């Protein structure tokens, strides 16, 4: 009797549920989310149909004119948060006095807690250790609240070999969706390094995450098969899949009930179901109902299901001169016509087959039009004979080569010695591939991981071969790469925080802060996938390569001390504004701070009252610090005499102190965050 059990804590966690419900409440208005609200394409599509639009970057937010911008549950960095607030302040007012652009913060409270922890730790001078995936939006947001130096890694070897600054306390936090048991291994490393884990480590794995992972372990251990439901790009769902796979080899990753059509679950009696934090309950219910309905159907009929092309075993019920009737354990009997038994048209089947004989046959049609199953004895025998190559490959774990003859729903059909082998989409490559048509009519190599010709179940696996070859190439590439090497790489993927560049059998990350000496906007607007980018290897840590386009001979600060010496009159363009002043681009990569008190001899409340972004201005250099790369400007110093207003000496002194006080903040605003 089939049983289907759903984990108690499967589906939306508190933070995700809160964020989605907030967006749904606002959907009747003009609503935008900064990035997709969660990593589930069905939820995102449903919200889009309700009018919710997705902004890819803060730059896109500056163009909308009016509306509500929702910060998703992953949260954002301090810079992004401040820029959004500034956009709201600058948007103007509606007739009712409300802002034309309003910001709604739907950041998960557990993530907000980490923001506060790392921000405080930075202020206290602690070295922050962030355990998690550096590419995940939650982690990218957390890093944006660290003002000091830090380490970000999800690799134990990196943490073990890292030399922490001597004489400084550390603060270690972890991504909320990280595997809790694996995080404990990182904690042990910190303890071995001599740190007090009670004061140096904060367990920020979300309670819901920990509950899900514990349940997944227990449920998978007690199940014949596990179904993991969630978005392909969901970090916490992938971790549930990894955990379940370790306890239950028959673990399957699906995004919806529709994906169950590609799976053969008929042989499993105990099936467990769990889902990631970004999976809505209606999808979980659809999967559960589909499994329970199918289980009930099998129980009622107590009959096996069959498919076209499958080889089945049967017992002969009756033999006629030109056909054989076979009981194959299905709701309908199978019919083997003479032409599908032999090529000898003169043979009387009654002379070679007897009632009660058992035989194998290949299913040609599950329903031949008369409610019976059309079978072929001859083709089944041919299949068994022609599968010797595959049988040997299966037993010896050898690589075989076949031609892709069909791209079907859920994978590839590959022909080896006239026998079809099915390679599921999840086993075609070591990365998710949405379109498999590029493999059509090509020869590919793979392993045979399952061989059962009688049930026509021959399964191939190309994934482990690709992963192995890639690992070998990566190791060889790493052995030949040195820090400082220059490459003309190819852009493979672009994210909000940088671009992944193929530099020959290995990818490196060109972080947004290393894309040039100047301030870089959204990487997706700077680069295109497939284009060639000249860069050099800045740092190698394990198998992770950090790239940079900041070549020393292009450093705009090389001759800045002469060009922007104190007393020089310079020309530049207003690049961006803050509450305390404006940053003026003097050259690509070189900005100067024009404090609000130095804009005019007349009192200026806000920089935007006098200046506009892109405006060209002339100013005097009043301070230059080459070590800190800080330049302070003054328009007031060269203002015409008629603009002079009487200022008390005390007021002038206060203004000077105010400029000095904001220089440190200006440095932090101008300097980009670092990324491991």
Residue positions annotated with a catalytic role: 138
How deeply is 382 buried, as exposed, middle or buried, from its count of CB atoms within 10 A (0-12, 13-18, 19+)? Answer: middle
- In the DSSP assignment, the letter for residue 510 is E
User: In the chain, what's the furthest Cα-to-Cα distance?
Assistant: 123
Tokens at residue 448, please? Answer: 């045979």
CA–CA gap between residue 166 and residue 534 (Å, rounded): 37
Q: 């040609």: which residue's tokens?
A: 364
Distances 629 to 55, 150, 469, 618, 624 between C-alpha atoms, Å: 33, 21, 46, 20, 8
Q: 């929702």: which residue's tokens?
A: 70
Whether 574 and 623 have beta carbons less than 8 Å apart is answered as: no
Long-range contacts from 562-566, C-beta under 8 angstroms, 24+ separation: 563/587, 564/590, 564/592, 564/621, 564/624, 564/631, 565/621, 565/624, 566/621, 566/622, 566/623, 566/624
> Concatenated DSSP letters for 101-133?
EEEEE---HHHHHHHHHHHHHHHTTPEEEEES-
CA–CA gap between residue 315 and residue 301 (Å, rounded): 19
CA-wise closest residue to 35 among 75, 65, 62, 63: 75
CA-wise closest residue to 658 among 589, 599, 576: 599
> Concatenated DSSP letters for 74-95?
T---HHHHHHHHHHHHHT-B-T
Residues in the chain: 676
Q: Which residues contact 527 (CB under 8 A, 6 or more apart)?
A: 491, 494, 499, 533
To the nearest 10°, report the CA torsion of 13, 19, 24, 28.
Answer: 180
Radius of gyration (C-alpha) of the chain in whole angstroms: 33
CA–CA gap between residue 283 and residue 273 (Å, rounded): 12
The arrangement of strands across the sheet holding 270-275 comes to 3-6, 270-275, 225-229, 251-254
Q: Rounded to 5 degrees, what are φ and ψ at 491?
A: -70, 120
Beta bridge partners of 451: 458
CA–CA gap between residue 279 and residue 35 (Å, rounded): 17
Q: Which helix (H) or strand (E) holds 631?
A: strand 630-634
CA-wise closest residue to 145 among 191, 111, 100: 111
Q: What angle do CA 657, 598, 517 make, to 5 degrees?
A: 95
Whether 338 and 395 have beta carbons less than 8 Å apart is answered as: no
Whether 101 and 67 have beta carbons less than 8 Å apart is answered as: yes
Distances 662 to 477, 626, 637 between C-alpha atoms, Å: 47, 18, 19
E strands, 219-303, in order: 225-229, 251-254, 270-275
CA–CA gap between residue 29 and residue 371 (Å, rounded): 56
Q: Rounded to 5 degrees, what are φ and ψ at 623?
A: -155, 140
């Amino acid at each position: 009797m089939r049983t289907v059990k759903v984990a108690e804590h499967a589906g939306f966690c508190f933070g995700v549920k809160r964020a989605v419900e907030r967006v749904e409440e606002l959907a009747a208005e003009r609503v935008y989310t900064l990035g997709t609200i969660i990593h589930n394409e069905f939820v995102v599509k449903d919200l889009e149909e309700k009018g919710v639009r997705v902004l890819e970057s803060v730059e896109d937010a500056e163009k909308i004119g009016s509306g509500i911008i929702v910060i998703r549950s992953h949260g954002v960095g301090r810079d992004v948060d401040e820029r959004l607030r500034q956009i709201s302040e600058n948007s103007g007012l509606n007739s009712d006095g409300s802002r034309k652009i309003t910001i709604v913060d739907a950041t998960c409270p557990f993530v907000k807690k980490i923001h506060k922890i790392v921000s405080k730790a930075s202020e206290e001078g602690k070295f922050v250790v962030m355990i998690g995936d550096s590419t995940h939006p939650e982690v990218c947001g957390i890093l944006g609240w660290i003002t000091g130096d830090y380490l970000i890694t999800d690799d134990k070897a990196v943490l073990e070999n890292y030399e922490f600054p001597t004489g400084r306390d550390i603060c270690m936090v972890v991504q909320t969706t990280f595997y809790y048991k694996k995080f404990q291994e990182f904690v042990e490393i910190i303890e071995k390094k001599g740190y007090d884990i009670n004061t140096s480590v904060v367990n920020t794995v979300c309670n819901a995450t920990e509950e899900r992972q514990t349940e997944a372990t227990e449920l998978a251990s007690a199940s014949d098969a596990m179904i993991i439901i969630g978005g392909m790009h969901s970090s916490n769902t992938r971790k549930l899949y990894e955990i379940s796979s370790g306890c239950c080899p028959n673990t399957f990753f699906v995004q919806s009930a529709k994906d169950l059509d590609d799976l053969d679950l008929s042989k499993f009696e105990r099936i467990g179901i769990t889902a990631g934090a970004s999976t809505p309950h209606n999808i979980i219910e659809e999967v559960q109902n589909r499994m329970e309905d199918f289980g009930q159907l099998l129980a009622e009929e107590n009959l096996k299901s069959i498919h076209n092309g499958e080889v089945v075993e049967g017992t002969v019920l009756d033999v006629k001169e030109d056909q054989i009737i076979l009981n194959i354990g299905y709701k309908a009997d199978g019919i083997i016509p003479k032409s599908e038994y032999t090529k000898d048209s003169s043979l009387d089947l009654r002379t070679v087959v007897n009632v009660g004989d058992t035989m194998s046959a290949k299913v040609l049609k599950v329903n031949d039009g008369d409610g019976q199953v059309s079978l072929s004895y001859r083709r089944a025998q041919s299949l068994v004979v022609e599968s010797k190559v595959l049988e040997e490959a299966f037993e010896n774990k050898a690589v075989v080569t076949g031609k892709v003859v069909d791209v079907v729903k859920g994978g590839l059909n590959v022909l080896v010695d006239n026998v079809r082998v099915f390679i599921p989409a999840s086993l075609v490559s070591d990365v998710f591939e949405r379109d498999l048509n590029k493999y059509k009519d090509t020869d590919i190599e793979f392993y045979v991981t399952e061989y059962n010709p009688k049930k026509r179940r021959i399964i191939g696996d190309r994934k482990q071969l690709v992963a192995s070859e890639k690992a070998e190439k990566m190791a060889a590439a790493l052995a030949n790469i040195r820090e400082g090497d220059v490459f003309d790489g190819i852009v493979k993927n672009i994210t909000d925080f940088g671009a992944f560049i193929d530099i020959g059998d290995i990818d490196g990350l060109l972080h947004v802060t290393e894309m040039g000496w100047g301030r870089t906007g959204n990487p997706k607007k700077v680069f295109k996938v497939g284009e060639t980018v000249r860069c050099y290897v800045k740092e190698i840590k394990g198998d992770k390569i950090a790239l940079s386009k900041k070549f020393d001979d292009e450093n705009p600060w090389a001759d800045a001390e002469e060009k922007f010496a104190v007393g020089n009159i310079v020309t530049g363009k207003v690049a961006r504004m803050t509450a305390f002043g404006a940053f003026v681009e003097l050259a690509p990569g070189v900005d100067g701070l024009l404090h609000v008190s130095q804009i005019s001899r007349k009192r200026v409340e806000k920089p935007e009252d006098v200046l506009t972004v892109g405006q060209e201005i002339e100013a005097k250099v009043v301070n230059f610090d080459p070590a800190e790369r800080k330049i302070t400007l003054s328009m007031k110093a060269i203002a015409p005499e008629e603009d002079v207003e009487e200022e008390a000496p005390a007021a002038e002194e206060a203004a000077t102190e105010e400029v000095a006080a904001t220089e440190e903040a200006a440095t932090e605003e101008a300097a980009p965050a670092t990324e491991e």
